[in-house]
């Protein structure tokens, strides 16, 4: 005869394992509400992020030489690993005038428009998920600002003699953050990690996970790869910058999970229920 399995022990083991590997929450319940925060508080947080960005922008000129050296080192490492596709994409896109001009405008505008639009949509339509998803974005952005402050890195287009085409300058794209007087308002050595990848991947994930219309979810899936292509074609980022941006966003979601103890995105079947929470 074989002994009957220890049912209590068998049932208790998964529970103990689940508790052992549970991530968070580090915050008490009163600091993890499900309703969205007040609008004035969100505007304040956004203002503080912009203030932090201004500090890093003003500090970067003192590190311009180091930023160029780091960019050269990244290019050399990518060549050794045979992942240096930036120059090929840059030259291929530059051969089609309307395409590269469109990419220049894409780089300068959609980065802000789409991210702000998704934030507003999330705040209005998915209040129960807003805090968690927004926290991941803000945390990843703060990590990027730390990278700009302590590891300023130049974009490929600044590497004179390496063959990269500064598509904004060549095609005289109006209003770009990377050209003319407007360039003084933008951190020109903020390539590592790529905030374009952080924001586009966050926007794409949010739409893909929470949107109800299929075509919106498809756009969410397509947006990050399109942005990745644009940042290479315009010679504004290396592949390594994009990888670092994706890693920063992953850390942002991990920190959010540790703080709240719950995933940022609910399963799609629970969207209607979470959206109706107070």
Whose tokens are 């807003």? That residue is 130
User: Which of 269 and 194 is assigned the larger pLDDT?
Assistant: 194
Quote the pLDDT of residue 272.
Answer: 41
pLDDT digit string, tens, across residues 164-218: 999 988 887 764 554 444 454 456 778 899 999 999 999 999 999 999 999 999 9
pTM for this model (two decimals) = 0.83
The closest of 109, 251, 92, 114 to 174, measured between CA atoms, is 109
**Domain residue limits, the chain:** 70-275
Task: Please write the tens of the pLDDT for every residue from 145-165.
Answer: 988 888 889 999 999 889 999
The closest of 168, 143, 145 to 158, measured between CA atoms, is 168
- Residue 153: strand pairing partners: 190
Range from 184-188, 191-195, 226-230, 271-275 that averages highest in pLDDT:
226-230
Report which of 144, 145, 162 is spatially closest to residue 242, judged by C-alpha positions.
144
State residue 48's pLDDT score: 86
- DSSP letter at 186? S
Nearest alpha carbon to residue 206 among 109, 122, 267: 122
Is-contact 231 237, C-beta < 8 A? yes
Closest C-alpha among 28, 256, 255, 246 to residue 129? 256
Instruction: Evaluate whether 240 touches 77 at the Cβ level (below 8 Å).
Output: yes
Q: Return the percentage of the chain with pLDDT > 90, whole number.
A: 53
Confidence of residue 52 (pLDDT cuts 50, 70, 90): confident
> Which tens digit of pLDDT belongs to each residue from 101-139?
999 999 988 988 999 999 999 999 988 889 899 999 999
Across 58-93, b (16+ Cβ under 10 Å) vs e yields: eebeebeeebbebbeebbeebeeeeebebbebbeeb
pLDDT at 269: 46
- CA pair distance 89, 234, nearest whole angstrom: 9
Residue 278 has pLDDT above 60, yes or no: no
| Rounded distance between C-alpha atoms, residue 241 and residue 152, angstroms | 12
Q: Is the dihedral of CA 125, 129, 135, 136 positive or negative?
A: negative
Report helix, strand and coil shares of the chain as percent, to nearest 5: 75, 0, 25
């Amino acid at each position: 005869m074989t002994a009957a399995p220890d049912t209590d022990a068998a049932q208790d083991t998964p529970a103990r394992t689940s508790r052992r590997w549970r991530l968070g929450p580090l915050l008490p319940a009163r600091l993890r509400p499900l309703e969205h925060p007040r609008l004035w508080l969100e505007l304040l947080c956004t203002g503080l992020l912009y203030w932090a960005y201004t500090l890093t922008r003003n500090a970067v000129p003192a590190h311009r030489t180091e930023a160029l050296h780091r960019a050269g080192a990244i290019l050399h490492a990518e060549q050794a690993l045979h992942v240096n596709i930036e120059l090929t994409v840059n030259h291929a896109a530059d051969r089609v005038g309307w395409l590269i001009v469109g990419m220049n405008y894409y780089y300068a505008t959609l980065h802000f428009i789409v991210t702000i639009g998704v934030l507003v949509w999330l705040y209005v339509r998915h209040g129960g998920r807003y805090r968690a998803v927004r926290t991941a974005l803000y945390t990843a952005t703060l990590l990027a600002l730390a990278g700009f402050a302590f590891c300023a890195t130049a974009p490929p287009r600044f590497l004179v003699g390496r063959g990269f085409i500064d598509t904004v300058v060549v095609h005289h794209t109006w209003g770009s953050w990377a050209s003319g007087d407007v360039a003084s308002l933008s951190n020109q050595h903020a390539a590592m990690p790529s905030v374009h990848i952080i924001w586009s991947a966050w926007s794409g994930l949010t739409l893909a996970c929470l949107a109800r219309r299929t075509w919106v979810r498809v756009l969410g899936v397509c947006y990050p790869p399109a942005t990745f292509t644009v940042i290479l074609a315009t010679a504004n980022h290396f592949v390594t910058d994009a990888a670092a941006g994706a890693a920063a966003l992953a850390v942002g979601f991990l920190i959010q999970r540790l703080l709240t103890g719950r995933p940022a995105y609910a399963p799609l079947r629970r969207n209607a229920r979470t959206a109706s929470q107070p």
